[in-house]
Structure formats: C-alpha cells, structure tokens
Amino acid sequence: MSNVDWVDIRAFAPADCPRDGQKSWDWYFHEAISHILKKNITDPDVVGTLYLPPPGRYKIDSPLEISNIIEQEVLTSSGRRIKREFAFRSIVIIEASAGGNALHGSSIVTSYDNKPAIIIQGGRQVRLKNLAITGLNN
C-alpha cells in the first residue's frame, strides 16, 4: 500500500481563518476529504492523509462524511434506472502533536449534540490518529 503526500487542512481555508473553535470549518473539511477521496478513486490502494496541525480547535456544524457513492445507469427489463453503491475508500485523519491532547494539540469541536461527529460509509483502512473530538453530549 502506498501513501500520497499529506494534505494539510489549512490549504483549503483562507490563510487568516481562525482555528479557535468559533468559526465553522465544515466546508474546508468537505473540500479536503473530497480531494483525498478523488485521488483514492484513481488508485484504490492509495491511502490519503489529512493533517490537522496543532494547536487548533476545528469547529464543525455537521458531521464529517467519509463516503463515496458511485452512481451508474443500468438498463433493466422495466427501463433505465440509477444504481447506487458505496465504493470502498481509505483515509487517515491525523493530529500530529504528542498524544493528541485536546488541550495542547488539535481537536474537532462539534456545535451539536444530536449527530455523530464523523460518518464513515464504505470505509476501508480509515484511521483516526491522535485526534480529540469534543462537543455537546446528551
């Protein structure tokens, strides 16, 4: 298995975007994860790595989704229809400080309490390393 270069989440956000847990990083995570998964489509054995540099508190207002749905038009006896299925994808999300301590490293901060922080569908070799996830919990 090979690795692609690490993708730094900051490359998808404006340079002055605060990492203080106040501004939503949903869009930047979506773009970074999509970028990695697109590379994974061309070579399914490649595992992309999304890097969250410390220190940082990355606020999300909706779950991060790691999935790839392939839509294919198929001909059936009753006509054409769209077939949807999940493709297996690999990704690593890593925070690289010593131990991933939420106080000294980076963390994903949820602004909600009724959904998961991360949704993985069709995942293969999906890893979260040294990552703290904090937020409301009922």
pLDDT digits (tens, 9 = 90+) for 52-65: 887 889 999 999 98
Q: Which residue is listed with tokens 């937020």?
A: 135
CA 30/CA 25 separation, integer angstroms: 9
Radius of gyration of the chain (CA): 17
Cis peptide before 116 (omega within 30 of 0): no
- Residue 103 confidence (pLDDT): 56
Which pair of structure tokens corresponds to residue 101?
């301590």
pLDDT at 31 over 90: yes
Consecutive H or E run containing 131? none
Which is higher by pLDDT, 24 or 5?
Answer: 24
Cα separations in angstroms, 10 against 67, 123, 137: 22, 24, 28
The pLDDT > 90 percentage for the chain reads 28
pLDDT at 100 over 50: no
Nearest partner of 133 among 111, 109, 103, 114, judged by Cα:
109
pLDDT value at 44 more than 80: no
Mean pLDDT over 23-44 rounds to: 83
Average pLDDT over residues 3-13: 81
> In residues, how long is the chain?
138
- Identify the CA nearest to 24 among candidates 138, 135, 137: 135
pLDDT of residue 68: 74
Q: What pLDDT is stored for residue 95 in this prediction?
A: 77
pLDDT for residue 117 is more than 60: yes
Residue 11: what pLDDT? 94
- The dihedrals phi and psi of 27, each to the nearest 5 degrees, come to -60, -40
Q: Answer for the pair 94, 50: CB distance below 8 angstroms, yes or no.
A: yes
